[in-house]
Amino acid sequence: MIRKHSFRGVMAGFATSALALAVSAQAFAGTVTTDGADIVVKTKGGLEVATTDKEFSFKIGGRLQADFDQFDGIYTKNGKTANEAYFRRAILEVSGTAYKDWKYAFNVDFGESGSSKWDEASITYTGFKPVNVKIGRFDPDFGLEKATSSKWISTIERSAIYDLADWVNDKQDGMGIQVSGVAGELFYGSAGFNRAKGNEDADGKNNNTYNLRGVIAPMAEAGNVLHFGVNYANRSTEDFDGLVRSRMNVRGVTEDSKNGNRAVFAPGVNVAGVGQFDGDAAWGLEAAFAAGPFSIQSEYLRRDIDAKSGSLRDDREASGYNVQLAYTLTGEARGYKLDGGKFDSIKPANKQTGAWELVYRYDNIKAEESNVVDTKAKIHTVGVNWYANEAVKVSANYLKADSDNIANADNGDDGDAVSLRLQYAF
């Protein structure tokens, strides 16, 4: 269909009905001629409107992840079986390009409680090619699995190693800036800092989080990946309690406020209401290899927590690693993007039967403080994913956890869990 309209007029018309079209329309595409550049409308995988000269674009997408967890043992306070059904994510995404060199992303997450919050609100300038500058609210860059979208990780939840230093990937409702880029079709790097809302010192000055990540990938395409990365993060903070805890890969333990147990690996320490730690840093290593439908990846994270001068406590260390194996039975390869240093989606070759993926991950995490804390846990996750099509994904995970020097109120130190997810991404 061809009409004469301005680009702004077309965009305004689409904005009012975009969400309904994005969810329901899967078979319409065409070109709209304007008094300026032509406009291309795409509806496969969301709704996207763009000028053919790539100066402007507008896309609406999103994801809905409905989860169910059943768990017992160490995963509950009394050791008995509990379960929880909830929306893990319900995100509406609006992104696009303006004047070619400016990109924007505004994503709202409608939470289980009925409230909503900004998942991302950022603007990126791409005119300094190959360097990009992003400003706004977004997740800091630390780790391969965190860089990979929650839509396309092979297990339902990311590795427990990220629980050991949850602030390294947390936007904390603040604002930040990040510089990133790809060089020589081989390297990816990023550097950024984030000002966390509410994390201020006694004078009202914001405490910042700093992140660095570097990736080298001699092979960087779907089904042919060799990836190595290193990460570092540091936050300027004071008088914090040094608490280290983990969901051990089952989100439902925090969704179930009555009986869910979020295991404590190192207790928070306060004296007269003042935390006894004032230094916090983390670093990590990452590696991945993919050949056709097979992939293997591994990450290591270590967090160093420094005790305050004069504190009665010693320095703390929390560390962990994981190893993950994945294989697509139907032969498809996991996608990969060097820009961002991350895995991407699996696209089913057979639109009738979809793609089937098997995954196994081993997590090993621990926390230590001289003569006070020595806690450990091992988590095995076995899972299957059915990519029914490019929008629908169904996942099932079985998890088994064992711990040392950690127990619930029933003195249980191991547990089992089953997690299920239905995902619609457009």
Higher local confidence (pLDDT), 420 or 43: 420
Please state the φ and ψ torsions of residue 11, each to the nearest 5 degrees: -65, -40
Give residue-wise pLDDT tens across range 129-152.
Answer: 999 999 999 999 999 999 999 999
Token digits for 45? 């995988």
Same domain for 384 and 313: yes
32 has pLDDT over 70: no
Residue type for position 181: G
- The pLDDT score that the predictor gives to residue 224 is 98
The pLDDT tens digits of the residues spanning 197-240 come to 666 666 667 778 999 999 999 999 999 999 999 999 999 888 89
Burial label for 272, CB within 10 Å (0-12, 13-18, 19+), is: exposed
Query: Residues for the chain: how many in total?
Result: 426
Q: Are residues 98 and 38 in the same domain?
A: no
Q: How far is CA 306 from CA 202, 229, 235, 338, in A?
A: 19, 25, 12, 35
Q: What is the mean pLDDT of the chain?
A: 89
Stretch 105-123: mean pLDDT, rounded?
A: 84
Residues 36 and 85 in one domain: no
Rounded Cα distance between 47 and 14, Å, is: 9
Q: Report, as an integer, the average pLDDT of 262-267.
A: 97
Q: Say whether the peptide bond before residue 130 is cis (omega within 30 degrees of 0).
A: yes
Identify whether residues 40 and 95 lie together within a single domain. no
How many domains, the chain?
A: 2
Closest of 332, 324, 330 to residue 295, by C-alpha: 324
CATH code of the domain containing 223? 2.40.160.10
Please tell me whether residues 22 and 146 are part of one structural domain: no
**Is there a contact between 378 and 402 (Cβ–Cβ < 8 Å)?**
yes
All residues at 6 or more sequence positions from 22 whose CB lies less than 8 Å from its CB, including other chains = 43, 46, 47, 60, 61, 62, 426
Q: Are residues 43 and 128 in the same domain?
A: no
- Burial group, residue 129, by CB count within 10 angstroms (0-12, 13-18, 19+): exposed
Among 10, 37, 55, which residue terminates a domain? 55
Question: Domain check: are 235 and 373 in the same one?
Answer: yes
pLDDT band at 11 (very low <50, low <70, confident <90, very high): very low
Q: Evaluate whether 413 touches 74 at the Cβ level (below 8 Å).
A: yes
Tell which of 55, 71, 101 closes a domain. 55
pTM higher than 0.75 for the full model?
Answer: yes
Q: Which two tokens stand for residue 204?
A: 């009202």
In this predicted structure, what is the pLDDT of residue 20?
39
32 and 93 both lie in a single domain:
no
What would the mean pLDDT of 38-52 be, rounded to a whole number? 84
Q: Are residues 48 and 95 in the same domain?
A: no
pLDDT at 44 over 80: no
Does residue 187 register a pLDDT over 80?
A: yes
Region 115-121 average pLDDT: 85
Query: Do 229 and 167 sit in the same domain of this protein?
Result: yes
pLDDT at 5 over 60: no
DSSP 87-126: EEEEEEEEEEEETTTEEEEEEEEE-TTS-EEEEEEEEEEE
Percent of the chain topping pLDDT 70? 88
Mean pLDDT across the stretch 330-348?
A: 97
pLDDT of 288 > 90? The answer is yes
Residue type at position 38: D
Residue 395 has pLDDT above 90, yes or no: yes
Q: What is the pLDDT of residues 62-89, one digit of tens each?
A: 999 999 999 999 999 999 999 999 999 9
> What is the C-alpha to C-alpha distance for residues 247 and 262, in angstroms, rounded to an integer?
5
10 Å Cβ neighbour count for 237? Answer: 19
Residue 339 has pLDDT above 50, yes or no: yes
Shared domain check, 155 and 14:
no
Backbone angles phi, psi at 252, to 5 degrees: -60, -20
Please say whether the dihedral angle defined by the alpha carbons of residues 21, 23, 29 and 33, taken in this order, is positive or negative.
Answer: positive
Range of the structural domain that residue 151 is part of:
58-425
Q: Does the pLDDT value for residue 259 go beyond 90?
A: yes
User: What pLDDT score does 295 carry?
Assistant: 98
299-308 residue pLDDT tens: 999 999 999 9
Same domain, 88 and 191: yes
Please compute the mean of the pLDDT values over residues 108-126 and round it to a whole number: 84
The reported pLDDT for the residue numbered 113 is 56
Which amino acid is located at 126 in the chain?
T
